[in-house]
Structure 1
């Protein structure tokens, strides 16, 4: 079972668990109904106590929320998922195209690297059995030739062991990279399932006066968590494109007949480590795109503070100017 199948299982798990939100609708309808009774009674009492006409439009809010609770999987989750699913499909298509190009470039680089080592007589026998046997046939059975043979065997085994260690470490980093992506997707699925099942309760609580922000907070959290996957796909596409550019540079160097490859994968390993660390920054990046508070409220508070400071400064300067003008008139 590969990692792509595990991601498919997580998506299937979400689809199987979402209908459970309908079971919470029965409890949510009772909470919302009691909240609507108190909400309407409070608004009507406030209007009657001030001898004002009753504004009917705000009183329709609890009933609209009640309809959303009754048909929560269809109206709420269905609408949000239908709006956001094209974003997921678009970013996943970007990732598939980049990975396909990366695989083609990697195969081309491996082929050119092998050809470059075959062109060099000092390294050809390390990668080719035919060249190794040919070089052994050229040697005799003198003590010096036997020492050369032993050195060739040791050097060939050392080269194979070095390549095996590099490939093992590369495979390990690729597994860790895929595991980091799976961890993010698993946490995302868990959050979405919890938000979906308890969504009717959040809508019911928002009916109560003073808890209206619960509705916007729930929508914001759901959209933010839902966008974890598109952000992860964009991040993976960026890494794949960066690796493609590095491979293109290596292929350009290998096209030179005089170029001798060293076989190191340092740059690839560095970017794999960066990718593993970067995957766990996805929730933070998504919070910059969708947020209920934070920068928006901070900017608004700064603006309001600046306006208040300006009003105080204007009032103060006006009072000072009035005092000076009054003293001049007395003189």
Structure 2
């Protein structure tokens, strides 16, 4: 089975990896304190010298900035990372709760649709023997051993084998698209975890450099980049929730149609596969959407590179998906 991989477990492993790597930022605290201390010395000396040279009173308030940054460096894992993660954690949990609700509804409606589809095919005399073994054996028992009956019997075996082969092809292609869909989400989560680990470990150095004149924007840039990357996960869950909701609406419409006894179901699931392909491409727009929430200029280059790579990979995937769907559709029409 293509979907034998437990993707939820892989996402949990990435979350655990981030939690275990966060304390490593304390290893750079000593270096950062040295850089920040030297920068604070130059910063305070320059401000005091300027005030004395101009015979102006010394403004103490701006001189407190390097000391505040120094306190952030000393307690970086708890004071900086802990505060940001605590504030943003409810957003992540809320979006993930929406995803779990929509996924549960989708699975419930999918099981109901499969059951109604099986019953509809079983009611139809032309397809009953294809989906039900008992109906197939019953139809065989009604035939005799004449030449015409033997030809009919052989045709029934061929039709049943062809039907099962088509179902296996559709199921395999659907599982392949679902695997690619889940893999796209795992790629986004892996890159997000890598970015967060790098920002967390090197965060004290960024704070220390921000003490120097001309590098003050490093502090705000680090905060905006960290928050922007952190928001990738809730945006990803919202995107998955939207796709799940669309599938629920489609399943609800199919279930309502199947309530009509004369309705002949279409088991190709072509629309569902199309939305899976859309979802695969849509996952790579998540960094751009997260960047709309809080602007992080330093991540835009990574976003462009990711979108370019996704576009190139998407062309290949779209060509393969189109060929496969066309092949299946051609067989159905034939």
> What is the TM-score when the length of structure 1 is the normalising length?
0.88
The residue aligned with 1:144 is 148
Inter-partner Cα distance in structure 1 for 2:213 and 2:42: 8
What do the CA deviations read for 1:226-246 (whole angstroms, capped 9, x no partner)?
A: 000000000000000000000
Take 2:165 and 2:27, find their aligned partners in 1: how far apart are those partners? 59
Cα RMSD, aligned residues only: 0.9
In the alignment, which residue of structure 1 is the partner of 2:240?
236
User: Over residues 142-172 of structure 1, what are the superposed CA-to-partner deviations in whole Å (9 max), with x where a residue is unaligned?
Assistant: 1111110000000000000000000001111
Structure 2 residue 239 is matched with structure 1 residue 219:
no
Residue of structure 2 aligned with 1:288, choices 260, 283, 292: 292
- Count of residues in Structure 1 that have an aligned counterpart in Structure 2: 294
Structure 1 residue runs of 4+, over 3 Å off? none
The residue that corresponds to 2:197 in the other structure is 193
Residues 181 and 280 of structure 2 are in contact (CA less than 8 Å); yes or no, is this contact kept in structure 1? yes
* 1:262 Cα deviation from its structure 2 partner: 2.3
1:216 touches 1:292 (CA, 8 Å); kept in 2? no
What corresponds to 2:315 in structure 1? none
SS of the residue corresponding to residue 258 of structure 1 reads coil
Q: Which residue of 1 aligns with 2:97?
A: 93
SS, match of residue 209 in structure 1: coil
For 1:57-115, what per-residue CA distance to the aligned partner results, in whole angstroms no more than 9, with x for missing partners? 00000000000000100100000000000100000000000000000000000000000
Partners of 1:262 and 1:104 in 2: CA distance: 19
Unaligned regions of 5+ residues in structure 2, if any?
A: 299-334
Partner of 2:31: 27
- Unaligned 5+ runs, structure 1: 295-331
Q: Contact 2:117/2:265 (CA < 8 Å) preserved in 1? A: yes
Q: Is the contact between residue 228 and residue 296 of structure 2 (CA under 8 Å) also seen in structure 1?
A: no
Relative distance call for 1:192 and 1:292 in structure 2 (3 A) is closer
- Asked whether the 8 Å contact 2:106–2:244 carries over to 1, the reply is yes
Residue 17 (structure 2) pairs with residue 5 (structure 1) = no
Correspondences of 1:62-73 after superposition (within 5 Å): 62-73=66-77
Question: C-alpha deviations, 1:96-141, integer Å up to 9, x for none?
Answer: 0000000000000000000000110010000000100010111111
Distance 2:181 2:45 in 1: 57
**1:75-90 matched pairs, under 5 angstroms:** 75-90=79-94
Structure 1 residue aligned with 2:65: 61
Residue 132 (structure 2) aligned to one of 125, 128, 134: 128
Q: 1:252 Cα deviation (Å)?
A: 0.6
Question: What is the deviation of 1:49?
Answer: 1.5
CA distance in 2, matches of 1:263, 1:105: 15
Provide the C-alpha distance between the structure 1 equivalents of 2:70 and 2:294, rounded to a whole number of angstroms.
Answer: 26
TM-score of the two chains, using structure 2 as the length reference:
0.87
The reply on whether 1:14 has 2:18 as its aligned counterpart is yes
1:262 aligns with 2:266: yes
Deviations 1:19-68 (A, max 9, x none): 00011000000000000011001111111121111100000000000000
Which deviations, in whole Å up to 9, do the C-alpha atoms of 1:281-311 show, x marking residues without a partner?
Answer: 10011011110459xxxxxxxxxxxxxxxxx
Partner residue of 1:45? 49
